Structure formats: structure tokens, C-alpha cells
Structure 1
Amino acid sequence: MDMQSGLGIRLSLKQRYLLLLIAIGLVIAYHFTRDRPESSRMARVEGLRANSSQFTLEGKPLRILGGSIHYFRVPRAYWEDRLLKMRACGLNTLTTYVPWNLHEPERGVFNFEDQLDLEAYLRLAASLGLWVILRPGPYICAEWDLGGLPSWLLRDQNMKLRTTYPGFTQAVNPFFEKLIKKVVPYQYSKGGPIIAVQVENEYGAYAKDTAYMPFIKEALLSRGITELLLTSDSKDGRALGGVKGALETINFQKLLDEIKYLDEIQPQRPKMVMEYWSGWFDLWGDLHHVYPAEEMTRVVTEILKLDMSINLYMFHGGTNFGFMNGAFAVGIPAAKPMVTSYDYDAPLSEAGDYTTKYHLLRNLFSLYHTQPLPELPPLHERRAYHPVVIQQHVSLWDSLHFTDKPFKSERPVNMENLPVNNNNGQSYGYTLYETTITSAGTLNSKNNIKDRALVFVDKHFIGVLDYKTQELSLPEGKGRRTLGLLVENCGRVNYGKTLDEQRKGLVGDIEFNKQVLRDFIIHSLSMKPGFVNRLENSGHWMSMRQRPSFPGFFQAKLYVNTFPKDTFIKLPGWGKGVVFINGKNLGRYWSIGPQQTLYVPGPWLHRGNNQVIVFEEQETDGKILFASSPDYGMPVDVQ
């Protein structure tokens, strides 16, 4: 019986074609929805609510089992790998910050592409069945330079960050206009994964302006945020960080009296640890912090027994690529910069490996699921490539041909106020200040060097000035000589009350023989990709047969003959500097440790020759080593 006789009607060719298209469409729709989580297919009526002792979603109880993974700290090629490993651990919610300083590197110039494609990250989370708690700042802390605030804000000498000072709010509004427009369609009520949005971050520890949190809350609501609002504070700021209409959550590592505090201020509402610190960060010159897996699991077990929701900070830390590390300044004489790795001793390591913490948590979280957890995704192979020998070098002084035109100024000018980057100032890297001296004597920084300067006379290295060493003797010489100060921004403070004071470079006068120095030539050396590319293709490189001068750039080639694998760079015999692979800034290294390796993601390599450029300040042994596992230095338990 054919279609015509069976239906008792005759169908034209056109009608048959239309029926076929409808049938194909139904099959595609079925397969598309069949593999999506039940929660993302149901009609969206009632989002996340906090009206009783438990969160509810669509009126049904929901315990948030969350973890933090920052898209900007993980190579985009690995986003899916890390989120699949999150799901396989039994987590149901992804939390991420949004770094304003990366998304708006110059005022009014926005970047949401490639590594910074937040919408792609949200779509990926949704496709994998993860809910999202978005933490859009504008301040994020995150052990990130200036807590995620763009350095161009500091061009205003009267700037009052994280307040309703007009200079700050007038900068926040255009950023939120751009950002919130992008994330609104990904809210739960619109079929997306975002179930909650955090208002600012740990404001209670800052709390300089009672009107500020209401301003940020309104900035979110007025632009279309409709999901549950949260705030997040640790013990030192919990009493001052809330805002009316947002659920307060807490941050800690060891159970103290935080739970009791939440019961007192929010009786009969859900309790959540927004940041359960699974490890800790490291500072240059310190030891590598670890937090015992058994202790972590014990506290997480207690939290879950108390019927609370939890977010692991970090679930996977990743890396402070480039110059993006922050600095720590609480309870110490001067700020200490964070290391490049953000491994954080988290359940998933910097390179995406499973740790003891991961397996213990997976066993624990599996008890809170009715279905078996997904299989563990396979690990990525790693490789210790053969050492490579430095082939060429170029001095810092010769590299200045490829920087912006130098700037002449009677007085020193801090990095942020230099007339570079379309008058947005210099954000990161090094700045070279040169002036003239005519005698021997004593150089005094007056503590106006932020953060660390290599001092040269006629390109000969004399010594280092920083917050500990503020005086240096300069030798005798004939006639007029060039004094050079290569000043490094080692990372701006990301937490505490000194955010407004994070200008870098020479931030005031310096003295020579008690006389104020004047008439500077200032070179901006931010080492952006354009500069590295120009340098790489220049004709200034010299063979290693010619003795290198320091500081300098050193070039080698890593030949990869198979599919590229993750690896770690080791630089024994080198002092301090920065490594670039195929133009990408892997971050800082420093022999003082604790960190002794730099993570190199396989997707940033390619078959054949890979260009490695190292900027080294003072010494080299002429070769680069590779390892298949990291070395974060001597461990010490988090106190």
C-alpha cells in the first residue's frame, strides 16, 4: 500500500517534499533535545529561589554543588575538557568571574572574542548540563591584577575605586552596558544556564561607601538581570558586605562560627559557602601552599551534612598567563606579587590532572546523586621535550627600536599616566626611565619605585632598588653619563584597602646626592604581541658567539615532530624574566621560587618549529629545559 492509496488522497510532489522536510525536522529536534539535560528542556517558570531553608528551582529543592573555573585562566581549547571533568566529579554548577581589565583594555575598546568569548563559555556550560553562577564584578579580587579593575582608571589622580565617585561609576556603566547585554539572554528565565548573579565581591572587607552596593545592584537590575542576586564575604567583612534584596553567602576554609552567623541574619533561608577555599595561592619568595586533602574532605562533608550548598574555590585554578598576577599586601610591610601558576592546590591541577582531592570529592558528591556519575574523561598526555639551546639574542637597548616612540618629561611619570595606548597609559610590563648624571654619588628612590628597578649607568648594571633597598651608590665616571632605571610592575594589589595606591613605575621624585632628578626620556616596554612579533622578525638578532648583554631577549626553537602535547618549561641557571611561545606570554619566572616551572599548553604549540623567546634580566645558562610535571617548590600547609 503506497502513501497515496493508504491515505486515500493524492499528494503532489511538492506536498510530499514538505512532509519529508517536516519529518526530518522532527527527527533532528528529537535527537537535539534527547541528549540535553532534563532541566534545560523543561519549560522555565520559576528560577532559583531562596525563600525557605533550601534553594528551589521550579519549586523543587536544589543543592548547589559548585566549582570555580575561570575561562580567562584556561586555554580555550581546554574549556570543554575542564568542564567535563567538573561534571564527572559530581558538580552541577560552574562559577566564574568576569575580568573587566581584559574585556576593556582601553577605555571604550571592548574584547569578548577568542579566549575572552564569555558567551561561548556560557553556551558550553549549558550544553554540558551545568548551571552557572556569574560573578561579573566590576571588582573580582581573584588574585588578579588590581582585582580585575583596568589600570586606566588610575589615570585620574583623585580616583576612588569601588565607590560612587563619579569617575568610577562613569567607567562602570559603559562596561556593564556592554557586558550585561551579552549575558542577559543566558539567564535561566530565557532558557540559559545562569541561575544566580553575584553583586560585586567581598565588599564588606572594603566598605568605603554605603551607596556603592545599591549602585551595583541597580546597575545589574536596570540592564535586565532577573535571576537571584547574591553577595559573598569572608569573616573580616561579612557584617558590611550585604545589600537589600540579595542573599548573603560566606567564604572560608575552616568551619568556625560562619554558619551560626548566617542563621542569625537570614533565618529560614538557604545557607551557601560561595568560596570554600580548596587550597591557597603562592607569592614569589615564599613556600608553596598546600591544604591537606583529608582536611578539605572533612570540612566539605560537614558543610553538606548541614544541608548547605557549596562552591569550591578553586575547582580548577589554571594559570596567571602574561602579566596578570595580583599582589598581596595584608599584614605585611609591602606588597608581594603572586606567582604565575594558579594551581591553587585545587582538586583539578593547573594542567587538568586528577588529584587526591578530586577522587575524594567525587566519592563524596556521588552520594548526593541518584544516578551514577559520568565516566572520568581521559587525561591529556604530557611530554618532556628535549632541551633546546639558545641560538640568538638581542639586548634590551636594541629592542627599544620596536617600542612606542619614547616620551620626554621634565618629571617622572607613572606608567598609567604615560601618553601611550591611545592615551590609556601603560598597564603592564616594564618602563625604562633615562636621565643624565655627571658625578658619582648616592641614588635614593624615596620609596617611589613601584615595584622593582634594575639600575644602569651607561648600560652597565649597578644594582636593584625596591621597597627593601632604597639607596644605591653610583660609581665615578667621566663627563655626562646616562642613568637608566628599568622599572617593573610586578603585579598590582588585588585585595585590601590600598587599591587606589597601585600606580606603577616611578610614582614620584627620586634623588641623586639629595638633588631631585629631572629631564627624563621614558620608554614603555609592555611587551604586547605586536612588539614581540616585530622583535621576532627583526634583523637585530645576534649569534650566541657574540657575548650577550643583559637585560636581553633570547631566542630558541622547539621542534615538535608529533601532535603537540602539554609540557612545562624549566630555566635553571636563569634569573628572572618572562617567556613567550609563538608570541603568547606564558608569564613570569623567578629563581627565588617557589615556582620553578611554567605551564605550556599543547594547543599553543604546533608541529614543526615553535618560537621561544625569553626576556631575561640578568643571567642565562644558554638552554631551556622541559619537564612532564610541574615543580611548584617546597610545600607548606596553609595556616
Structure 2
Amino acid sequence: MSAFQMRLECILCLSSAISVMAQPTYNPSSRINQTHLTPFHLQRRGAGLKVEGSKFELDGFPFLIIAGTIHYFRVPREYWRDRLLKLRACGFNTVTTHIPWNLHEPIRGQFLFTGNLDLMAFIFSASEVGLWVILCPGPYIGSDLDLGGLPSWLLQDSKMKLRTTYKGFTKAVNRYFDQLTSRIVPLQYHENGPIIAVQIENEYGSYHLDKKYMSFVKKALVTRGIKVLLLTADDGKDVINGHLKNVLATLHLKNINKDTYKKLSSIQGLSPIMMMLYTAKSFDTWGVSRHTLDPHVLMKNVREMFKLRFSLNFYMFHGGTNFGFMGGATTLNGHSPMVTSYDYGALLTEDGEYTSEFLTYQEFFRNVLEMPEPVTPQPIPKAVYNSVKPTHYLSLWDLVPYLDRSIKLTKPISMERLSVNQGSGQSFGYTLYETSITSGGILSSNDHIHDRGQVFLDNTYVGVLDHSTNQLTLPNKQDSGAVHTLRILVENQGRLAYGKNMNKERKGLTGDIYLNNSPLRRFTIFSVDMKTKFIQRNLPNHWKPVSSQVSGPAFFLGYLEVEQSPADTFIKLEGWNKGIIFINGQNLGRYWNVGPQETLYLPGPWLHQGRNEFIVFEEFNSGLNIQFTDNAQLGY
């Protein structure tokens, strides 16, 4: 029996456990009238979402929360309304979204709430289409993001204790919440906004390193004006550790059995049950087969939850994309970085198209809920453009003299500690370490390379050091005793998204590296962070014509002419090996021929009519063309 089937058995045996909770019975042939409980219909606001015995009530009316998660930061802003309309059309009444601290405060003290990070505009859009909103502001949100959405500059403090009341952490949280909550407070229910609930932190019961921490987060939110219903969310075995007094405990569909509901009853008495994280599938990681799940099992789960009057939040309704270096990593199969797609087996595909599961859920919700005939948005057009043939290239070694000032140190340091980004260090991308040696031998990383380091001797590729390979043999040159340049290009493939080892998640060279058991010294270090400004400003006009296949690491330049209005498409990089791709200066994300993902989603709004610039950073050997297709190929 699979792990998910075991979870299903737990759900199916809940009837006896529910008697403990005095949960009302439900006749599946009856219909639930919630049409009056939308942001459109409520003009005069009452007390908002409340717990009344075993039910939720909204302004005194029974209310079943049927929520789906959409991450605004994983969806192009131009498509927010489309995705929210589709959520509403499927039968959901609420959207849940998480707020990534690391994206909103990328540099300490500098906050971004514009463009694709305009959280307020996303919430307004949700209200306009008739959806309520549940916010998960963290500070830690998980969500399979790099460091679970925490900013990497926190790790500049060698004593940092993430997700605790350690002073260095709470000081940063307070400064961030000052900025964040001032934007959220006016959008709460009692202020005639759509926000009906706020989740405190995320799955803290599994972390639980500081008994005072959750109370600190609650106080930080409440004292800044958060007045709507507060929630915690944990899996079955951790629900007590993550619980807070006078805060509703909700569940993630993991480790649930009859004892879980007894625990809930013991800590909060009679209460509604909400599956705050009902997950469709899981994220995919590079080099591992794609995760799949029988959709019939999902539908059976949901039917059972409706019979028992459980509220639920479907994670993810629409996954979107880990654009740039957004995705985190897991240690389930060794160190496994997440792929660029966050399709997640959701009810909408990565590019926002309907799945057969969407139609199944839409029909089910229509049968059990009294809801008007939905207005279902039309599918978004796709295009298959002509292949782009790169015309010019620029070797990384040709670029080095033009990089921002180098950092010279006796010992190597991690990217977080580099004196870049106004003192906030480097968060993402690559870091280049250079030193001089006079002989070959055994190069040992001593597990100090995080996560993947390409090793070069005088610009000649030697091999890779990573989490599974700790040693390489450097050849002895014929000119014995001469000075040679050793270069190690280290890629941050994503910090852990969860777990108690997050405090150790520093990237680059995190300690000494050894040649013949002696630590190397006198390093020159370059930040190759691949930010938009890096691509737009730092690439000098010294491009060379491409005449045949070129070895990396190198940048390759090509152009796409779009004659009509731009449309969504998918990029296929057959013949290329590993790297990242930029469209008009925007980082689309990673590609890697180890799979399972074979195509990258390119949103139409990222293109414009006329000439579009494509830059590919290829680590090994280039392909001949950048191809396009009209469907995602995410592997098997």
C-alpha cells in the first residue's frame, strides 16, 4: 500500500473519530448554499470569519472554506486575473497565497512591493473576481522556496538561529512585518477587504526549536493590527507542538489518523476541521523521475471530506513556475534541487491551462454547491516560433575582467558573506573562486562545496565537485613549478526549503579546500549572481561569432523576431547540457539534460512584438538551436 493510499485509509476511517468532535452529518445529495458569502454580496460587514462550535460562520452564516493556493510570485502579473477567474469558475470561494520574505526584502532594509511582487494588487484582483483571501505571511512559509522564503542575508550571522526568538532573527522579522502588515491591515475583512484569515508561520510543530517563537509571531501580527481569524497548520503528528492558545489549529494531509482528531479535540474542544494543505502531488527534482498520483484517489478524498463537512485548501490549485533561482532543495534523495517548473500536478497546468481534473472538480462542486453557472475563461493561445540560432558567444573567462570588483581573501568564504549587494551578500547564482597552484594532485572539497563546483585548471575543464563527489585529480603540467590558475565555479542549486538543517545552508565555498591535504590560500572571488542588471550591464560588447559548437562556460546570444502579438510558448533546448536562459533580460530559470523537465515555460507577456533578445548561459557544450513547442514536456 502506498503512503498516499494509507492516508486515504485514514480519511475513510474518520467517521468514528468525528463522533468525538460532534461533527454534523452530511447528505451528499444536499446542496450547500454559499452564494451570498462572496466579496461581491457583502456590503455591510459584521464580525467576519468565526468558529462557532463545529462550523465556520461568516457574518452569522454557515461557511465552508473551499480554498486553492496560487502564488502570485510564481505567475506573471498579466495572468493573475486569468488564474483567479479559473479558481472561481472551478467552484472555489477562497484563494490562499504565501508571502516570500526573501523576494520582498532581497537586500536588507530595501523592500519590493511592485510589479510581480505587488501583493496588494493580487489581493484586489482576488476580491474583484469574488474570492476571499487567506494569507500566509510567515515569516517562514516553506512553499518549496530557497530557504523556505527566508532571506539568505540572515545567514551572514554565524550564530543565526532561524525561526526562533534569537535576537538577530526577531529584529529582522519586526522590521519586515512593519513594512508588510501596513499593507495588509487595510485589506482585512472588517475594513471591507477580502482577507478573512491569516496563518501564523508554517508547520512549526515539525521544527519546534523555541517554545516562545510562535507566541512572538502571533504578537508581532496582532500588535500591528491583524484582527482576522488566526490559524496554525501542521501535519498530524506535530499538531500539538505547533498549536497556539486561542488560535485555530488546521491540518496538513500527512500522518493523519484517528488519534490526530483526539489531539485536536484535547487542545481546542469542539471546532471545525480544515485541511489547510490538501496536496495534489509534490515538487519534482532534477535527475529524479516525475512524481505522479492517481487523480481518482484525490477525488475520493475530497468527496469524503465534503461528507464530513471539512473545509479544505487545495495545494496547489495552480503551481506556476520557479522563475530565476526561486526554487529550493530537499534532502529526500540526497541533496536534490527542484526543477524550474512548479506544475505540481495542480488543477491548472504550469501555463494556466485546464486539466481533466479541473473539469472533474468543477462538476463535483457544481453538484454539491448552490453556485451560479461559472464564466470559464477561454484557453490562452500558444505559439510555436521559428528556432533561434545563437549568432554570438562570450566565454565566462573573457567576462571576468569586466565583473564588479573582485574580493581578495586569504581563505574562501561563502556567497552570503561576500561584500556585495550593499552588504547583504550574494543570495543566488554562481560564485567564482580563483587561486594559484604550482603542481597537480588530489583536490579535496571536504564537503565544503555547496552545491556544485566545476573545476578548471588554466581554463581547462577538470571535473565537478558536489555533494556526492569530494575529490578530483588535477593533472601535473609539463612546466613543473610554473604557476597555474585554479578556478572553481560554484553554483547555488537552492537552499533547503524546510528542516532543522536550514541554519547550515550557506552556499559557495563554505570552508577550506585542499590540494594534497594542504589548504589552499589567497583567493580572488567574483560574484556571478546572474541578476537582470548583471545581464544588462556586465556583458561587454566583445561577442564572438558562433561558427561551430562552443564549449562553456559561456554566454550565447540570439534573437527571435515576433511578427504578431506575442503568445505563450515553451522552449526546448535539445543538444544543450546545463545552464540558465534569459529572455529580454529576465531570468526564465534553469535547464538541465538530466531531466525530468525538458521544456521551459515562456509567458507571452515576457515577449514583445519585434526583436527579442535570448541569452543562454551554458556550463558545458552548446547546442545549435533554441527550439519552441506549444506544449509542456515535463518528463515521466
Same fold (TM over 0.5): yes
- Quote the Cα distance in structure 1 between the aligned partners of 2:299 and 2:261: 18
Per the alignment, residue 9 of structure 1 pairs with none
- Quote the Cα distance in structure 1 between the aligned partners of 2:242 and 2:503: 19
Q: Of 528, 533, 550, which aligns to 2:531?
A: 528
- Would the aligned equivalents of 2:67 and 2:93 in 1 still touch at CA under 8 Å? yes
Q: Deviations over 1:387-435 (max 9, x none)?
A: 1111110001122244321100000010000000011100000000000
Per the alignment, residue 94 of structure 1 pairs with 95
Per the alignment, residue 632 of structure 1 pairs with 634
The letter of the residue matching 1:231 is T
Per the alignment, residue 324 of structure 1 pairs with 326
1:47 maps to 2:48: yes
- Would the aligned equivalents of 1:316 and 1:346 in 2 still touch at CA under 8 Å? yes
The letter of the residue matching 1:381 is P
Query: 1:237: Cα distance to partner?
Result: 2.2
The letter of the residue matching 1:368 is V
Query: 1:493: Cα distance to partner?
Result: 0.1
Quote the RMSD (CA, aligned, Å): 1.5
Point out 4+ residue stretches in structure 1 off by more than 3 angstroms: 35-41, 253-267, 546-549
Secondary structure in 2 aligned to 1:303? helix
Per the alignment, residue 586 of structure 2 pairs with 584
- Quote the Cα distance in structure 1 between the aligned partners of 2:255 and 2:570: 33
- Quote the Cα distance in structure 1 between the aligned partners of 2:162 and 2:218: 16
Q: Deviations over 1:561-610 (max 9, x none)?
A: 11111011111111110010011101001100111110000010011111
Per the alignment, residue 387 of structure 2 pairs with 387
- Quote the Cα distance in structure 1 between the aligned partners of 2:439 and 2:525: 22
210-219 or 402-411: bigger deviation: 402-411
Q: Deviations over 1:246-274 (max 9, x none)?
A: 10000116964445543454332111000
Per the alignment, residue 140 of structure 1 pairs with 141
Query: 1:67: Cα distance to partner?
Result: 0.2
Q: Deviations over 1:265-291 (max 9, x none)?
A: 433211100010012110111011122
391-400 or 156-165: bigger deviation: 391-400
- After TM superposition, list the pairs within 5 Å mapping 1:114-129 onto structure 2: 114-129=115-130
Query: 1:238: Cα distance to partner?
Result: 1.8
1:488 maps to 2:484: no
**CA 1:541–1:80: 2 relative to 1, 3 Å:** same
Larger Rg: 1
- Quote the Cα distance in structure 1 between the aligned partners of 2:226 and 2:49: 13
Q: Deviations over 1:331-382 (max 9, x none)?
A: x4x3211111000000011000111110111111112322333121101011
- Quote the Cα distance in structure 2 between the aligned partners of 1:402 and 1:361: 54
Secondary structure in 2 aligned to 1:313? strand
- Would the aligned equivalents of 2:341 and 2:600 in 1 still touch at CA under 8 Å? yes
Per the alignment, residue 370 of structure 1 pairs with 370
- Quote the Cα distance in structure 1 between the aligned partners of 2:136 and 2:385: 39
How many correspondences in the alignment?
A: 597
The letter of the residue matching 2:201 is E
- Quote the Cα distance in structure 2 between the aligned partners of 1:336 and 1:610: 33
1:172 maps to 2:210: no
- After TM superposition, list the pairs within 5 Å mapping 1:145-156 onto structure 2: 145-156=146-157
Secondary structure in 2 aligned to 1:522? strand
Per the alignment, residue 270 of structure 2 pairs with 268
**CA 1:381–1:36: 2 relative to 1, 3 Å:** farther
Per the alignment, residue 603 of structure 1 pairs with 605
365-374 or 296-305: bigger deviation: 365-374
Secondary structure in 2 aligned to 1:289? coil
- After TM superposition, list the pairs within 5 Å mapping 1:86-235 onto structure 2: 86-235=87-236
- After TM superposition, list the pairs within 5 Å mapping 1:326-475 onto structure 2: 326-330=328-332, 332=333, 334-475=334-475
- Quote the Cα distance in structure 2 between the aligned partners of 1:100 and 1:402: 32
- Would the aligned equivalents of 1:567 and 1:602 in 2 still touch at CA under 8 Å? yes
Query: 1:385: Cα distance to partner?
Result: 1.3
Q: Deviations over 1:464-489 (max 9, x none)?
A: 00111110000111210000000000
Q: Percent identity?
A: 50
- Would the aligned equivalents of 1:406 and 1:521 in 2 still touch at CA under 8 Å? yes
Per the alignment, residue 7 of structure 1 pairs with none
250-259 or 98-107: bigger deviation: 250-259
- Quote the Cα distance in structure 1 between the aligned partners of 2:371 and 2:444: 67
- Would the aligned equivalents of 2:563 and 2:609 in 1 still touch at CA under 8 Å? yes
356-365 or 209-218: bigger deviation: 356-365
- Would the aligned equivalents of 1:402 and 1:534 in 2 still touch at CA under 8 Å? no
1:616 maps to 2:622: no
- Quote the Cα distance in structure 1 between the aligned partners of 2:535 and 2:599: 22
Per the alignment, residue 13 of structure 1 pairs with none
**CA 1:368–1:547: 2 relative to 1, 3 Å:** closer
The letter of the residue matching 1:102 is L
**CA 1:255–1:165: 2 relative to 1, 3 Å:** closer
- Would the aligned equivalents of 2:236 and 2:254 in 1 still touch at CA under 8 Å? no
**CA 1:38–1:440: 2 relative to 1, 3 Å:** closer
The letter of the residue matching 1:490 is Q
Query: 1:36: Cα distance to partner?
Result: 12
- Quote the Cα distance in structure 2 between the aligned partners of 1:483 and 1:38: 62
- Quote the Cα distance in structure 1 between the aligned partners of 2:206 and 2:102: 21
- Would the aligned equivalents of 2:450 and 2:506 in 1 still touch at CA under 8 Å? yes
- Would the aligned equivalents of 1:453 and 1:465 in 2 still touch at CA under 8 Å? yes
- Quote the Cα distance in structure 2 between the aligned partners of 1:149 and 1:187: 24
1:503 maps to 2:506: yes
Secondary structure in 2 aligned to 1:620? coil
Per the alignment, residue 312 of structure 1 pairs with 314
- Quote the Cα distance in structure 1 between the aligned partners of 2:313 and 2:37: 23
- Quote the Cα distance in structure 2 between the aligned partners of 1:217 and 1:574: 49
Q: Deviations over 1:174-216 (max 9, x none)?
A: 0000000100000000000000000110000100000000000
Gaps of 5+ in 1: 1-34, 635-639
50-59 or 515-524: bigger deviation: 50-59
- Quote the Cα distance in structure 1 between the aligned partners of 2:467 and 2:412: 18
